[in-house]
């Protein structure tokens, strides 16, 4: 089966106007989302991972806007779409679930009402049909006794159950794309495991593409087919889960992997990344990571590294990685379009 690209983000720039100046949250990221695959975007706070996701949905805060770049959904640039068309896009073609299932649901309406609202808005189903669909969706996401639960209010649901409801709501109109913004961060590990398992199951059943935004490397290792590592609003490195975890090329990715305790490094000292997180108001001229990088060279201060193929074929934007390639005899610096 040919791999169909369902969504392409091309050189996206998103910034926010604040009292202290322009905050450039996303600085030219590009990626393709393949139908039926899970793309993981991982990064620390302020890396621009959530803002990238919100830019796709165009649900940025009032002071934020897409400055340049294209977001192509099945070949059409949705950044040019009017709001009325975008409304149709959200929910029907592309849905999002948020970190906090406590605040994403309206406390004064029943679960059923809120689910049906989404169904009525985007499909022709009305009345009993809409209700049946709501029950069917709750059943699909593993809520027991859906006929009874549908009449209950959000406070009667636990955190994990609420996140299930959010997933049911997001998938009720069978979107092509599901964006999950830190979907399990607020949940306990055993509940997290349930939700991740559910998301994988549903993906296999319904075949939508998922963009999984998270800071948790463990979650991403488990879920993603392809991973993008972000820092300071730029892409550091991208590749398959194996590329990123076993053959990291970017100094930031390497540092990140060294900082997490794992079974292999128990009893040893962790090797943290030095310094403090990036200040988006005061971005360095060269590589965004270079003020914290131990391997920084002169060129890192002055020029932004281009994304190049590493020795094993995935992409990284790091001058050190480029040097390694040159040492390995790969003088050709191929830039990604």
Partner 1 sequence: MDMNYKPNPEYLVEVNDLKMYFPVKTGLFGRTPLKAADGVSFAIRPGETLGLVGESGCGKTTVGRALIRLYKPTDGDIFFEGKRVDDKSIGGLRKDMQMVFQDPYSSLNPRMTVEDIIGEPLDVHKMYTSREDRRDQILNLMEMVGLNAEHATRYAHEFSGGQRQRIGIARALATKPKFIVCDEAVSALDVSIQAQVINMFEDLQKQLGVAYLFIAHDLLVVHHISHRIAVMYLGKLVETADSDELNANPVHPYTQSLLSAVPHPDPKTAKNSKRIILEGDVPSPLHMPSGCPFRTRCRFATEQCAKEMPQLTDRGNGHMVACWNK
Q: By CB under 8 A, name the binding residues for partner 1.
A: 44-45, 158, 160-161, 188-194, 196-197, 215-219, 221-222, 241-242, 245-246, 255-263, 265-267, 269-274, 276-277, 292
CB of 125 to partner 1, least distance (A): 30
Q: 240 near 65, Cβ under 8 Å?
A: no
β 38-42/64-73 pair status: unpaired
> Can you list the alpha helix ranges (DSSP code H) found in 16-126?
49-57, 83-92, 111-122
Helices (H) then strands (E): counts for the chain: 12, 12
Among residues 5 and 240, whose Cβ is nearest to partner 1? 240
- Of the two residues 274 and 303, which places its CB atom closer to partner 1 in the complex? 274
Residue with tokens 């049911």: 168
DSSP H helices in 141-188: 146-149, 159-171
Show the tokens assigned to 288. Answer: 């965004």
Residue among 262 and 303 whose Cβ is closer to partner 1: 262
Mark residue 127 as left, alpha or beta (left: phi above 0; alpha: psi -120 to 50; beta: remaining).
Answer: left
Report the distance separating Cα 314 and Cα 134, nearest Å: 42
- In the complex, minimum distance from the CB of residue 252 to partner 1, in angstroms, rounded to a whole number: 9
- Nearer Cβ to partner 1, position 45 or 84? 45
Nearest to residue 251, comparing CAs of 310, 171, 166, 196?
A: 310
SS3 percent helix, strand, coil of the chain, rounded to 5, is 40, 25, 40
CB nearer to partner 1: pick between 63 and 158: 158
HEC readout, 105-126:
CCCCCCHHHHHHHHHHHHCCCC
Give min distance, CB of 337 to partner 1, in A. Answer: 28
CB of 270 to partner 1, least distance (A): 4
Complex with partner 1: residue 193 or 330, whichever CB lies closer: 193
CB of residue 251 to partner 1, shortest distance in Å: 12
- Minimum Å distance from CB 311 to partner 1? 19
């Amino acid at each position: 089966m040919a791999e169909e690209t369902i969504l392409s983000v091309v050189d996206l720039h998103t910034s926010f106007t604040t009292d202290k100046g322009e905050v450039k949250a996303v600085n030219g990221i590009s990626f393709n989302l393949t139908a039926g695959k899970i793309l993981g975007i991982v990064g620390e706070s302020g890396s621009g991972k959530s803002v990238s996701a919100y830019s796709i949905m165009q649900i940025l805060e009032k002071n934020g806007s897409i400055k340049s770049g294209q977001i192509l959904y099945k070949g059409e640039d949705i950044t040019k779409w009017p709001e009325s068309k975008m409304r149709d896009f959200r929910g029907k073609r592309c849905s999002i679930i948020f970190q906090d299932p406590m605040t994403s649901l309206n406390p004064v309406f029943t679960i059923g009402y809120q689910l049906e609202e989404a169904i009525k808005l985007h499909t022709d189903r009305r009345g009993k049909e809409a209700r049946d669909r709501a029950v069917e969706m709750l059943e699909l996401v593993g809520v027991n006794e859906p006929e009874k639960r549908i009449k209950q209010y959000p406070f009667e649901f636990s955190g994990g159950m609420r996140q299930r409801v959010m997933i049911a709501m997001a998938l009720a109109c069978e979107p092509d794309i599901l964006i999950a913004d830190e979907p399990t961060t607020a949940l306990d590990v055993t509940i997290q495991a349930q939700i991740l398992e559910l998301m994988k199951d549903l993906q296999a059943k319904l075949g939508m593409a998922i963009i999984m935004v998270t800071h948790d490397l463990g979650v991403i290792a488990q879920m993603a087919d392809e991973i993008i590592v972000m820092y300071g609003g730029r892409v550091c490195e991208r590749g398959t889960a194996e590329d990123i975890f076993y053959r990291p090329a970017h100094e930031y990715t390497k540092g990140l992997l060294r900082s997490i305790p794992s079974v292999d490094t128990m009893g040893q000292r962790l090797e943290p990344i030095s310094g403090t997180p990036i200040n988006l108001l005061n971005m360095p001229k060269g590589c965004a990571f270079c003020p914290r990088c131990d391997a920084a060279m002169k060129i890192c201060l002055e020029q932004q590294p281009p994304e190049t193929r590493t020795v094993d074929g995935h992409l990284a934007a790091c001058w050190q990685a480029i040097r390694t390639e040159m040492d390995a005899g790969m003088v050709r610096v191929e830039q990604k379009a």
